Chain A
């Protein structure tokens, strides 16, 4: 039985159809990377998995439990087994790093203060942020915020980790660092994960399988090598990063005439 099972998932906002019959399944310990253009419904997919959005049709099942059929208490129990890493970290800005990372421990465990402090330090070590407990989110760089977000997500030792564009807006070195941290977490915790990213380098490093969303539909779910070789023009254009092709839903930007510099004619 897959740990995460997305069946015929559809979601629209007004007239805009964001997801249109998406089917995906993620097995235990597997790392699925979801690619797609901006506005292709990747984040909406994650929000449906978490039960933050209610699908218009279809369903998401976590370990066999259909998310939208659960009441608030049952959904809370399911969410304790999921760690979510937000695109912009979504740290609680009124709390310190320690309080952010220890938030779920404080709410859902009977740990003593010392045990909680030890677990927070352990989580921060795992993401390479030793001795940052007393800092406030406003004092952290973008990359550090993401890593604190990771530490907060893994504090309860979840079975599932969801990453929403963890490298967007970071420099190439920090992008690589984040990619390596995700790989380390996968190796150390053996979690099942879904990662949404635009960064192809880390996508191919992280992924056991890659899915591609386009116009609300899932074009392919394949192993990285098979995905690279997939002849679908949208996938090939996305991998090449070209402006021209079927990927852009709006007309592509106008092609400017290439003008070569001519030497001034001599009078």
Chain B
């Protein structure tokens, strides 16, 4: 009984180590492949559109909703201390430092990471990835690199956009509904925020973009088991990348704020 339990535990640990090693190896190959020729510019443009342009509505809506809800909470909370004037400042700090990059990252993990896992997973089970190999094309270079670059470029831009939309969301609530002065809100939003905070937010966007693309592509690339495998790949990709986004957010915040 105990021996069997230990065997199962050992097998699970070995599996985790093997998977981690494989992920690191494939990720390393992806970064090296960025500098290899031929460079597929057309594919990159397509991915920039798929990852970035097509995600704008989702990012706008979520950022607007979250910033408005947060403004309501701040307004209500500070009212208890007769300090409603602080709501705009805290809104700015929260949106720039945390809400915009994390909400954008999580939404993109769901929208883009899952799509990458499903697409590559389908290609894997229908032998299209083997066909790439047979046509003397490295699948990591052909499939991973455009997605990785597109995510690394687009996530910081989308994060920047989410910050602006967050400003508008707070504006609608605090100025439009709560009746604060538009001038005061506009000044307050950026009062506690420094240029370094913006750099931190965009850096988080970049790191989250890399996580989303690498995890999504890797999960798809390693899909096994037909339709069931293709079904599991996006789920697994979203869970894994969301988890890593939250974990890395903590460490990035600790590291970059020092």
Contact = CB atoms under 8 A, between A and B. Distances in A.
A50 B135 contact: no
B130 A107 contact: no
Contact of A107 (B128, B134, B136): B136
A52 B136 contact: no
B220 to A, nearest CB: 14
B130 A108 contact: no
Contacts of B131: 84, 86, 90-92, 152
B231 to A, nearest CB: 18
Contact of B135 (A47, A88, A152): A152
A56 interface: no
B136 A79 contact: yes
Contacts of A79: 133-136
Contact of B136 (A47, A77, A91): A77
Interface string A218-238: 000000000000000000000
Contacts of A152: 131, 135
A103 interface: yes
B137 interface: yes
A103 B133 CA distance: 12
B135 A104 contact: yes
A52 B130 contact: yes
B127 A107 contact: no
B57 interface: no
B123 to A, nearest CB: 8
Interface in A167-203: none
Nearest to A100: B131
A91 B38 CA distance: 21
B172 to A, nearest CB: 40
A93 interface: yes
B18 interface: no
B138 interface: yes
Interface string A57-84: 0000000000000001000110110101
B25 to A, nearest CB: 13
A91 B136 CA distance: 15
Interface residues of A, number: 23
A196 to B, nearest CB: 14
A104 B128 contact: no
A47 B131 CA distance: 11
B126 interface: yes
Interface in B133-147: 133-138
A107 B132 CA distance: 11
A72 B133 CA distance: 10
- Of B133, B135, B136, B138, most buried by chain A (CB within 10 Å of CB) is B135
A115 B134 CA distance: 23
Contacts of A93: 126, 128
A72 B128 contact: no
Contact of B128 (A50, A92, A108): A92
A119 to B, nearest CB: 15
Nearest to B46: A94
A50 B134 CA distance: 7
Given A72-B138, A76-B138, A50 B126 contact: no
A153 B51 CA distance: 32
A42 B138 CA distance: 25
B127 to A, nearest CB: 4
B38 to A, nearest CB: 6
Given A72-B138, A76-B138, A107-B38, A88 B127 contact: yes
A82 B128 contact: no
A103 B128 contact: no
B130 A86 contact: yes
Nearest to B122: A93
B135 A52 contact: no
B54 to A, nearest CB: 15
Given A90-B126, A90-B128, A93-B128, A104 B136 contact: yes
A93 B136 CA distance: 19
B122 to A, nearest CB: 8
Contacts of A52: 130, 133-134
B135 A107 contact: yes
Interface string B62-97: 000000000000000000000000000000000000
Given A104-B136, A107-B136, 4 more contacts: A76-B138, A77-B136, A79-B136, A92-B131
User: 8 closest Cβ contacts across the A-B interface?
Assistant: A90-B127, A84-B134, A90-B131, A76-B136, A79-B136, A104-B135, A80-B136, A86-B127
Interface of B: 38, 123, 126-128, 130-131, 133-138
Interface of A: 47, 50-52, 72, 76-77, 79-80, 82, 84, 86-88, 90-93, 103-104, 107-108, 152
